[in-house]
Each structure stands twice: as structure tokens, then as C-alpha cells.
Amino acid sequence: MNLDHSYATHLGDLGALTKPLRVANPQLVEVNHTLRDALQLPASWFTQSSIMSMLFGNTSSFTTHSFAQKYGGHQFGGWNPDLGDGRGLLLGEAKDKFGKSWDLHLKGAGPTPYSRFADGRAVLRSTLREYLASEALHHMGIPTSRALCLITSDEPVYREKQEKAAMMIRVSQSHIRFGHFEYFYHNGELDKLKRLFDYCFEHHFSACLHSESPHLAMLEKVVTDTATLIAKWQAYGFNHGVMNTDNMSIHGITFDFGPYAFLDDFDPKFVCNHSDHQGRYAFEQQPGVGLWNLNALAHAFTPYLNVEQIKGELSQYEPKLMAEFSQLMRQKLGLYENTQNTAELVNRWLDLISQDKRDYHISFRLLCEIDEHGENQPLVDHFMQRDTAKMWLEHYQQALITQNVKRQERQANMRNINPEYVLRNYQAQLAIDAAQDGDFSRFRRLLQVLQHPFEGKPEYAEFAKPPPDWGKHMEISCSS
């Protein structure tokens, strides 16, 4: 089987052909066989000897056109033109059984022309974190890139301390970022910008070509998909942590995992990135940052659209995000009518778990057991402000009675949207600690749990518990 190499072939001057650099004693330790099957990739590729030949041979499908893309980005609000694939390479594109194309991208590939004197490596710690998080989000139904396979090594790399290098092949619709368009626009390379747009219309936004204004239709699609994604982040309590425009995908997927975190105790001001001293990417700031990033991207559309057209599309971001978020929150509470009363119940519930600093996910899972005619003492006991909790519960029960939905049906629906298991940072760290000593059993067990987030099982009880005090608000570094 051969891969396609459309990006490297048609946009070869928008980056650089670059070969992966072999790491010391590489070992294939994990393969996402379900994803491999979906992409119709040969099983024979994913053995120890074959994958190493594919990645480090000079004539394999992975390396004949392996390519480092050039882009820029706004990082913490400041423009940086000196970005690009500094440790990653586009290996090619595979087609699934429906004919849809997917990028295969090697992370931790070694130095590229855009490494800026860095080693081009990824550390095992961050690679495991990305693998776990991308699978966790995917199985919750949140759009994301995914991990195809994990390769470890004995090669030392130096960040805050000495660590081991690792590699991962990840999969997404493409690796085109907001920063691609920004770079060629701000650099005045309008011919390259046009060719990038043309490539996107041909390969990723072909439906937009049927529109009177393809560029307007594409901007609308990116705005809608970004709003939908961030609404899901907010509803499921996911904090990305580094929403720079070079980490924003044009496909509205979770991309470039760094110091992310799923919420533990519900704190809207939570900041998961210990380098984010101003709280720019705090949990509650993510919707606003999404709009800021779309504004930055929209400058690249100005050669094709007028200001009013762009403003019109950007103005749709907030109502689309709020509509998606409101619907998700009603579903999480088992409320099926979009009324002022249900909106107030949702907001008061969020205020209650925020003020009491209750665990976000456990609190929602408790709601799945509510009997609209019962006392529901476990929920009341969950809170320190019991009187306030009882008052909210009475209004909530009345709303459930009024909508006249069978309890078993409602509870089943709620269990299918409120996860029993989420990726806690402390659980990820325990898996990392074991893996750094050569034991991947905890990583694999955690991965298995996260692939079934809504199915409560007795054997997985430890993964449904709240984190210990030492596991809350862990400082996670951007460095990888």
C-alpha cells in the first residue's frame, strides 16, 4: 500500500522535505489497532522491524515525501512568524473505507528547518499524555486528533530534567492550522496564501466550492466547527491550556496537546498551564480566546472578503457556541425543554458546584441517579451547603416531573453523556511514572478505561474516585 502525499507534492515550497532521525533503541510499544483498521493500513507495517524500516528507511511510503510544514502563530497574544513543524513531520495521507483522507504525522521526528536550534524530540511524558487524552476525548465524542502508535527509546533529552525521547504517529483530517494562513498573509506571500486556500478547497472544503463565495463558506465552516468544539470542552470540563493560533486546527478539532487538564473540583478560573501566569487560557476564558483566534485567522480572508462579510461570520460564533453548550448542558441534566426555567436550573447547578468546589464529573454523574419523587440524600450529602442543595433539588425534581419522561429512559440518556471516567492528571502521572521504569501496564489499563468512559464497571472503580489532595491542581509543563 502506498500513501498519498498531496500536501508535499502540491505545496512543496510551503515547507521542507525532511527525513526522520532515528532515536536510540526505538521500541514499538503500542498500536491503536482499531484506528489502523479504520484507515485500512496494513497490519504488517506495525511490527517492530517493519515500523522501524518504514520510519527510518530512505525509500518507504513514510519517508519518500516526509515533510515539515511552515507556519506562524499568535502565542499568548503575540505574533511569532518563526514557527513551523519543529519536531513533527507529515508522513503522508491515508484513505479510510469511505474514501476520506487522513494525515499521518510523526511527532518527535528530530530536527527540521524549523526547530530553532532545538533537538526536535518529544519526551515520553508528553507523548503518553497526548495518546491518553486524544483517546479519552474521542470516546467522549469530542473532535480530536488521535494516536496511531507509540514508540519509546533510550535516547536522553533535556527539558527541566533529563528524560527519554519518544515518538508518536498521530492522525487528523489535516495538520493545517490557523497559523498557516496567518503566516503567508502577514508575510505578504499572497500567491502562496491563494494556493493554500485552493488546496483546502480541493481536499478539505470541497462543499464550499458550490457556494457563491467559497471563502465566505469556508470561514463560516471554521467558525461553526470551532464554536462547537469549544462548547464541548466547556460542557465536559476540558481545559486545553495553550490555545495559541498555531495550535488551532481549521477542522475544529482538539489539537497539539500540552499541559491540558480535565477539571477536578469545579473552578471556572482554573489554569492548567503553570506557565500561563496571567490566566489567558483559563478554563472560563476558552470561549473568548476561541473568538480572538478566529479574528486573527480572519485577517487572512481579507484579500477575498470585505470587512462586513467577515464581521457577519464572526458574529455567529457566540450564538452557535451558546446554543451547542446549552443543549449539551440540558442533556447532561436530563432536561429536554429549552426554557428560561431550564436555563436557570443549569446556571444555579453550576454555581452550586462551583461555590462548594465539588468535583465536576462526579457531581454530574450523581445527577444520573436522581429520582424525581425521592429524597436523593446522596446528592444532598454531596454538598456542604445542604439547604441550598435541597432548594435547587426541589426545583430540579419539579422540572423533571413536568417534562413527563420515564425515569429509566432519562437516567440511561444521562449516563451516556456524563462520563464515569475522565483522564485525571494524577492518573496520567502514575501511568507515566511506571512507563518511565519500563512498565506500560498501567498506561494500557488506563487507556482501556478511557475508551469506555460512560460504562461504569466494578473493576474500574478506582478510576471513578476523586483525586487525592496531592493529585489536584498538578502543575503541568508546556515543555515536551
Among all residues, which ones are annotated catalytic? 246
Does the annotation flag 88 for ligand binding?
no
Kindly report the backbone phi and psi dihedral angles of residue 186, in degrees, each rounded to the nearest multiple of 5, phi listed first: -70, -25
Does the annotation flag 32 for ligand binding?
no
CB half-sphere exposure, 383, CA atoms < 13 A = 27
What is the grid cell recorded at 370? 436522581
What is the grid cell recorded at 197? 486556500
- Contact (Cβ atoms closer than 8 angstroms) between residue 27 and residue 152: yes
Does the annotation flag 86 for ligand binding?
yes
Does the annotation flag 37 for ligand binding?
no
Rounded Cα gap, residues 333 and 176, in angstroms: 36
Alpha-carbon Rg for the chain, nearest whole angstrom, is 23
∠ CA 413-144-80 to the nearest 5 degrees? 140
Strand duo 162-172 + 101-107: pairing: antiparallel
Amino acid at 252: G
* 450: Cβ contacts below 8 Å, ≥ 6 apart: 132, 135, 136, 139, 421, 422, 423
Kindly report the backbone phi and psi dihedral angles of residue 246, in degrees, each rounded to the nearest multiple of 5, phi listed first: -80, -5
Q: Tell me if residue 38 falls in helix, strand or coil.
A: helix
Does the annotation flag 119 for ligand binding?
yes
Rounded Cα gap, residues 91 and 102, in angstroms: 11
- Contact (Cβ atoms closer than 8 angstroms) between residue 45 and residue 61: no
Does the annotation flag 95 for ligand binding?
no
What is the grid cell recorded at 349? 447547578
Does the annotation flag 99 for ligand binding?
no
Own/partner contacts of 198-201, CB < 8 Å, gap of 24 or more, are 199/6, 199/7, 199/10, 199/11, 200/176, 200/250
First to last CA, the chain: 32
Kindly report the backbone phi and psi dihedral angles of residue 175, in degrees, each rounded to the nearest multiple of 5, phi listed first: -110, 30
* 79: Cβ contacts below 8 Å, ≥ 6 apart: 72, 73, 182, 186
Rounded Cα gap, residues 160 and 464, in angstroms: 32
* 440: Cβ contacts below 8 Å, ≥ 6 apart: 29, 30, 434
- Chain Cα centroid distance, residue 48: 28
- Chain Cα centroid distance, residue 328: 18
Does the annotation flag 232 for ligand binding?
no
Rounded Cα gap, residues 291 and 25, in angstroms: 44
Can you say which residues are annotated as belonging to the binding site?
84, 86-87, 107, 119-120, 170, 177, 247, 256
Can you say which residues are annotated as belonging to the binding site for ATP?
84, 86-87, 107, 119-120, 170, 177, 256
Can you say which residues are annotated as belonging to the binding site for Mg(2+)?
247, 256
